[in-house]
Amino acid sequence: MSLLPWLRGNEAPPRPASRSPAEMVLETLMVELAGQMREAERQQRERSHAVRKVCTRVDYSWLASAPRPAYDLSPGERLQLEDICAKIHPAYCGPAILRFRQLVAEQEPEVQEVSRLFRSVLQEILERMEEEEEAQRLTRQWSLRAPRGSLATFRSRARITPFASDIHTISEDVERDTPPPRAWSLPEFRALKED
Task: Please say whether the beta carbons of 73 and 115 come within 8 A.
Answer: yes
Does residue 4 have a pLDDT over 70?
Answer: no
d(CA 184, CA 169): 8
Domain boundaries along the sequence of the chain:
21-61+69-144
Sign of CA dihedral 22, 23, 24, 25: positive
Question: What percent of the chain shows pLDDT beyond 90?
Answer: 38
Over residues 1-18, the mean pLDDT reads 59
When computed from its CA atoms, the radius of gyration of the chain, rounded to whole angstroms, is 34
Confidence bin at 120 (pLDDT 50/70/90): very high
pLDDT in the model for residue 142: 87
User: 164-185: b or e for each residue (b if 16 or more CB lie within 10 Å)?
Assistant: eeeeeeeeeeeeeeeeeeeeee
pTM of the predicted model, to two decimals?
0.59
Percent of the chain with pLDDT over 70: 58
pLDDT class of 99 with cuts at 50, 70, 90: very high
- pLDDT of 100 over the 60 cut: yes
Provide the pLDDT confidence category of residue 3 given band limits of 50, 70 and 90. Answer: low
CA atoms of 126 and 110, how far apart (whole Å): 25
Whether 119 and 88 have beta carbons less than 8 Å apart is answered as: no
Tell me: the pLDDT tens digits for 155-181? Answer: 555 555 555 555 556 666 555 655 555
Whether residue 13 is predicted with pLDDT greater than 90 in this model: the reply is no
Q: What is the mean pLDDT of the chain?
A: 77
Q: Specify whether the backbone of 160 is left (phi greater than 0), alpha (psi in -120 to 50) or beta.
A: beta
- Sequence-distant (6+) residues with CB within 8 A of 18 are none
